[in-house]
């Protein structure tokens, strides 16, 4: 397990390899469809993402008088942001993108160029990730984007994930997809001597 702490400096991020298990602590910001659309249309960045982490997440956050409390904060599917992410990386200087399902080749190329990695969080693990949020330090664009799409400022401790796309251009998803397809092709061309109908 590699421990990463905010700020996530370029040198440390570039040393991460696809397959590394990481534990992230410190500030991370959520942002999904509305944030990417806003920035792509020329809107300003609501927070300073430099050497920071962007989490594709629409959390369930409740306001209980004392402040905000996070009930569930699992990752959302990242592919929707493919069209915007290369420019976002270039513009924002973000070092870590957290989500699920991985992103495309253009994003992978931008990660290599600017020094950024993609960390796969575990889909469905909303309760656990909510617990890793120690404090909601603030929120941006709440009125404009709504609670699920707002940019939440989370201070996290031991937020766990796996580096699935690294800054050298390696994507675990690509490797797994091509290898599984190779095995699949072998399995479906085998003679059906193992089943009787």
Partner 1 sequence: MTTLEDRIVGLVKETSSSIPEDVAAALRSALRRERKGSSAAAVLRTILDNCEAARRGGVPLCQDTGSLLFVVDSRLRRKVTPALLSRAVARATALGYLRKNTIDAVTGASLDDNVAPGAPVVRYADCGEGSPARERGVTLLMKGGGSENMSRQYSLPDESLGAGRDLDGVRKCVLDAVVRAQGFGCAPGILGVCVGGDRATGFEVAKEQLLRPLGDSAATAPLRALEKLVLRQANSLGIGPMGLGGKTTLLGVNIASRTRVPASFFVTVAYMCWACRRRTLLIEP
> Which residues of the chain form contacts with partner 1 (CB under 8 A)?
1, 19, 21, 58-60, 62, 71-74, 77, 100-102, 120, 122-131, 160, 162, 164, 172-173, 175-177, 179-181, 183-184, 187-189, 192, 194-197
Expressed in percent and rounded to 5, the helix, strand and coil fractions of the chain are 30, 30, 35
The minimum distance between CB 193 and partner 1, in angstroms, equals 9
User: Which are the contacts of 174, defined by CB distance < 8 A and separation ≥ 6?
Assistant: none
Q: How far is the CB of 77 from partner 1 (least distance, A)?
A: 7
Output 114 or 118, the one with its CB closest to partner 1.
Answer: 118
Q: How far is the CB of 190 from partner 1 (least distance, A)?
A: 9
Q: What is the rounded distance in angstroms from the CA atom of residue 118 to the CA atom of residue 164? A: 6
Q: Is the distance from CB of 53 to CB of 155 less than 8 angstroms?
A: no
138 bridge partner residues: 153
Closer of 127 and 137 to partner 1 (Cβ): 127
Nearer to partner 1 (CB atom), residue 52 or residue 58: 58
Query: Nearest-CA neighbor of 50 among 74, 23, 29?
Result: 29
Comparing CB distances to partner 1, the nearer of 94 and 164 is 164
């Amino acid at each position: 397990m590699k421990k990463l702490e905010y700020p996530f400096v370029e040198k440390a991020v570039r040393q991460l390899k696809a397959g590394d298990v990481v534990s992230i602590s410190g500030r991370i910001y959520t942002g999904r469809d509305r944030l990417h659309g806003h920035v792509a249309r020329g809107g300003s960045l609501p927070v300073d993402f430099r050497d920071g982490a962007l989490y594709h997440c629409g959390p369930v956050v409740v306001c209980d008088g004392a402040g905000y409390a996070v009930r569930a904060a699992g990752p959302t599917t990242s592919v929707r942001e493919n069209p915007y992410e290369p420019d976002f990386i270039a513009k924002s200087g973000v070092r870590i993108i957290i989500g699920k399902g991985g992103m495309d080749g253009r994003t992978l190329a931008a990660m290599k160029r600017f020094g950024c990695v993609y960390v796969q969080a575990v889909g469905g693990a909303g309760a656990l990730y909510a617990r890793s949020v120690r404090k909601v330090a603030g929120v941006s664009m709440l009125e404009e984007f709504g609670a699920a799409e707002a940019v939440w400022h989370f201070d996290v401790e031991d937020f766990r994930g796996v580096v699935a796309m690294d800054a050298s251009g390696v994507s675990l998803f690509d490797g797994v997809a091509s290898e599984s397809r190779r095995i699949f092709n072998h399995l479906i061309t085998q003679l059906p001597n193992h089943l009787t109908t």
